[in-house]
């Protein structure tokens, strides 16, 4: 019988959502065009070529090397793209993703990515077109609620702040706003105004966000109620501690 990846312990909806994020088997909820994605990322003008830092690998006459034969370069690396970033901020009020599960999703399901995980933000650096592939995936799927998550290159503390009345996560730079029943972005990741507004689609209802979230909360799925997760945290703790004390155990 083939081994089936288990990804994460736990018997709750939060644990199940964590497994989904890690496996990459998440539901697609919306579309964002390549042009819109380029606009909000803010790294280059829509339609322009990808700036490169070196010629395409095929033209570089690289020496023979067994690792090169084993590991195929990503499209961005093949083309010589520069390294660029996408940075997400997820509200602690039931945003679907959390920084760690964005990172796990990136590291498990995408190649050539360098995820960085902090409390308020999660950044992925990669060759530009590879980064865009990941950004598009995470924006278009249930990993992102446009009201409770955002693309933010700076000022990320909205993740822990109370929500404004319209339910759109506080953003010091006001990159997004709710217009009618959709969320629009009118500045890029670092807060520079963009040429036109980009619609990110409808926000999730409170109920839907609570259903899809990967954060434990006492007012939704409490961490203390997921005994299996706590048991596994204890197991990791025991083993790391005992290994340092007496490795042969």
Partner 1 sequence: MADDRQRKFAKQMEIKFTKEHGSNKMEGGEITDKNVTYYRLGVDQNPRKVEMKKAGQEISKKRGLVGYNPMMHCGGIPLGQRALTPSFLSGTDMMVEMDDLHYVNNAAMQQMWDDIRRTCVVGMDMAHETLEKRLGIEVTPETINHYLETLNHALPGGAVVQEHMVETHPALVDDCYVKIFTGDDELADEIDKQFLIDINKEFPAEQAEQLKAAIGKTSWQAAHIPTIVSRTTDGAQTTRWMAMQVGMSFISAYSMCAGEAAVADLSYAAKHAGVIQMGEMLPARRARGPNEPGGIPFGHMADMVQTSRVDPEDPAHIALEVVGAGCMLYDQIWLGSYMSGGVGFTQYATAAYCNNILDDNLYYNVDYINDKYDGAANKGIDNKVKANLDVVKDIATESTIYGIENYEKYPTTLEDHFGGSQRATSLSAAAGSAVSIATGNGNAGLSGWYLSMYLHKEALGRLGFFGYDLQDQCGATNVFSYQSDEGLALELRGPNYPNYAMNVGHQGGYAAITSGAHAGRGDAFAVNPLIKVCFADNLLPFDFTQPRKEFGRGALREFEPAGERSLIIPAK
What is the contact surface with partner 1 in residues (CB under 8 A)?
18, 92-93, 97-101, 116-120, 154-155, 157, 160-165, 167, 170, 172-173, 191, 214-219, 222-224, 229-230, 233-234, 236-238, 240-241, 243-247
Q: Pick between residue 6 and residue 48 the one whose CB is nearest to partner 1.
A: 6
Task: Write the CB contacts of 89 (distance below 8 Å, at least 6 apart in sequence).
Answer: 120, 121, 122, 149, 150, 151, 152, 156, 158, 159, 169
Q: Pick between residue 9 and residue 75 the one whose CB is nearest to partner 1.
A: 9
Compute the CA torsion angle 63, 68, 70, 71 (nearest 10 deg).
-170
* Rounded least distance, CB 79 to partner 1, Å: 30
In sequence order, what DSSP letters do the residues of 75-107 get, joined into one string?
A: HHHHHTBPEEEEEEEE-TTT-S--HHHHHHHHH
* Rounded least distance, CB 202 to partner 1, Å: 20
Q: Pick between residue 33 and residue 237 the one whose CB is nearest to partner 1.
A: 237
* Rounded least distance, CB 105 to partner 1, Å: 12
User: What is the b/e burial string over 134-166, where b = at least 16 CB atoms within 10 angstroms of the residue's CB?
Assistant: bbbbbbbbbbbbbbbbbbbbebbebbeeebeee
Q: Pick between residue 28 and residue 224 the one whose CB is nearest to partner 1.
A: 224
Q: Pick between residue 127 and residue 175 the one whose CB is nearest to partner 1.
A: 175
């Amino acid at each position: 019988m083939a081994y089936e990846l288990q990804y994460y312990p736990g018997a709750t909806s939060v644990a199940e959502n964590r497994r989904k994020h890690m496996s990459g088997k998440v539901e697609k909820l919306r579309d964002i065009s390549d042009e819109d994605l380029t606009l909000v990322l803010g790294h280059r003008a829509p339609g322009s070529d990808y700036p490169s830092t070196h010629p395409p690998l095929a033209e570089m006459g690289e020496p023979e090397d067994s690792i090169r034969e084993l590991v195929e370069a990503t499209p961005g690396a093949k083309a010589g793209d520069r390294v660029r970033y996408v940075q997400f901020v997820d509200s602690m009020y039931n945003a679907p993703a959390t920084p760690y599960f964005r990172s796990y999703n990136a590291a498990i399901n995408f190649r050539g990515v360098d995820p960085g995980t902090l409390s308020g933000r999660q950044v992925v650096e990669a060759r530009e077109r590879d980064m865009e592939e990941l950004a598009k995936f995470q924006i278009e799927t249930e990993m992102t609620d446009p009201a409770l998550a955002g693309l933010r290159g700076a000022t990320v503390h909205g993740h822990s702040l109370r929500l404004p009345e319209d339910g759109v996560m506080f953003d010091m730079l006001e990159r997004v706003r709710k217009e009618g029943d959709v969320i629009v972005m009118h500045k890029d990741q670092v807060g520079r105004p963009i040429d036109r507004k980009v619609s990110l689609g409808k926000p999730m209802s409170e109920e839907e966000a609570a259903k899809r979230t990967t954060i434990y909360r006492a007012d939704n799925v409490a961490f203390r109620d997921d005994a299996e997760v706590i048991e596994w945290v204890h197991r990791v703790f025991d083993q790391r501690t005992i290994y340092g004390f007496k490795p042969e155990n």
